[in-house]
Amino acid sequence: MAKIIPFKAVRPTADKVALVTCRTYDDYSSAELAAWLSFNPYSFLHVINPAYVYSQKITLDKRFKGVAHKYQDFKSDEILIEEDKAVFYLYEIQSKNQKFTGIIAGTSVIDYQNNVIKKHEDTLQYRVELFKDYLHQTHFNTEPVLITYPDSTEINTFIALRKQSKPIYDFSTTNKERHILWKIDTQSEIDWLTEHFEKIPNLYIADGHHRSASAELLFQEDQHLGNPNLNFFMSFLIAESNVKIYEFNRLIRDLNGLSKEVFIQKLAENFIIKVKDQELWKPQNKFEFGMYLEGRFYALFYKHESNSDTSLLENLDAQILYDKVLHPLLGIEDLRNDERIDYISGKQSVSVIKDLIDEGEFEVGFMLYPSDINEIKTLADNNLIMPPKSTYIEPKFRSGLVVYEL
């Protein structure tokens, strides 16, 4: 049984919402960040990056306190307003090729601890503790955990009917997305959604493993304070068929001392190799890999055999690449921290990988076939953890759109 709750959110005034909301902080280049902060006084970037000119010169403690103060300034200036009562939201993101629709709600830390909310990625403890400290100091979060639920005809019907009503927001952004938000505030609707989610045995984290782990750590440390908001964390709940899963492709700076000829010879022990020359080739199926090396594309077909002893994790493409290539041949051990490896999401064209290698920054690139939601769920159900940077999942939430206070 999955427990969700409405919450008393803080959000921008309708006339300023397009100016306030922003992409996640890490999504901006330095030049973009400086431009938005210089020319848009309403941007939520001012809250999450206060005194940005001096941000490298102050301690984290002062920085977090600055975030808290700037957030309160936005509330005092009535850029942000607080709901009169606890509500759910229905949120839709439309781009040229995609439409994502889901429910914004509070999800239970206890469900997370009891594995009702399931995980498929590992977390770095220092990042969990850092964001926990951020939450402790600022007392708010505006980036929900992306959680999937099994497709439901009843919920789909509810959403379709609810979308016929007038939204509280309907605005477009400079990255050519349209964002629409409806408030779900009648008691009958709140009760219906709450009861329906109680019938769902498990929810699955798609994106936001560090945020959910930080919420749990904060709950463990501060629950004695009696703040009921610590019992939940904000989530964007979306049907599993509605998420878009991309791969993370790998870029390696060198061949670990191997010549091209020796490297390809060693690859042939585990892969059937076909030269694709200048064709921008991407894998079309599981157990296929693309490679770009010294001006040529290659298709690599893994010589896998049906074997009941092979674990679910060993059959994961990202794990195969690590076990058969990155670790034994290229000497990559730590996928998170090794400076010789970098990642680029499958949203970007293969030509970007080609250009980076042709420019000399990297020696070889590998393209993977994306995992699907069933593979992710099966791993989570078996308490297995995917390798770092295995998936890039959309949708991505706008910072400052809805705020969960602690």
User: What average pLDDT does range 54-78 have in this prediction?
Assistant: 86
Q: For residue 192, which amino acid is it?
A: W
- Model pLDDT, residue 52: 54
- Model pLDDT, residue 310: 59
Angstrom distance (rounded) from CA 223 to CA 220:
6
Given the DSSP bridges, would you call strands 232-239 and 145-149 parallel, antiparallel or unpaired?
Answer: parallel
User: What average pLDDT does range 259-277 have in this prediction?
Assistant: 96
Q: Under a CB-based contact definition with an 8 Å cutoff, are residues 141 and 135 in contact? A: yes
Angstrom distance (rounded) from CA 340 to CA 188:
55
pLDDT at 142 > cutoff 90: yes
pLDDT at 123 > cutoff 80: yes
Instruction: Give the tokens for residue 144.
Output: 């929900």
- Model pLDDT, residue 306: 53
200-232 per-position pLDDT tens digit: 999 999 999 999 999 999 999 988 888 999 999
* 4-242+394-405 under CATH 3.90.1530.10, yes or no: yes
Angstrom distance (rounded) from CA 329 to CA 267:
8
Q: By C-alpha distance, which of 166, 342, 234 is closest to 352?
A: 342
Angstrom distance (rounded) from CA 291 to CA 276:
9
Cα pseudo-dihedral 46, 50, 55, 61, rounded to 10: -140
With a threshold of 0.85, does the pTM exceed it?
yes
| Residue 313, burial from CB neighbour count under 10 angstroms (0-12, 13-18, 19+) | middle
Delimit the domains of the chain by residue range: 4-242+394-405, 246-370
pLDDT at 15 > cutoff 60: yes
Chain mean pLDDT for the chain: 93
Lowest mean pLDDT among 55-59, 76-80, 136-140, 343-347: 55-59
Q: For residue 382, which amino acid is it?
A: N
- Model pLDDT, residue 56: 59
Largest CA distance in the chain: 68
Q: Residue 373: which pLDDT band, with cuts at 50, 70 and 90? A: very high
Q: Residue 55: which pLDDT band, with cuts at 50, 70 and 90? A: low
Lowest mean pLDDT among 25-29, 118-122, 282-286: 25-29
Q: Residue 25: which pLDDT band, with cuts at 50, 70 and 90? A: confident
Q: Under a CB-based contact definition with an 8 Å cutoff, are residues 191 and 107 in contact? A: no
Angstrom distance (rounded) from CA 356 to CA 14:
42
Q: Which residues pair with 366 in a beta bridge?
A: 250, 291
295-321 per-position pLDDT tens digit: 999 999 999 765 545 588 888 999 999
State the fold for domain 246-370. Answer: 3.30.1760
- Torsion 280-281-284-289 (CA) sign: negative
Q: Give 225 or 284, the one with higher predicted confidence.
A: 284
What kind and span of H or E run contains 250? strand 244-252
- Model pLDDT, residue 70: 95
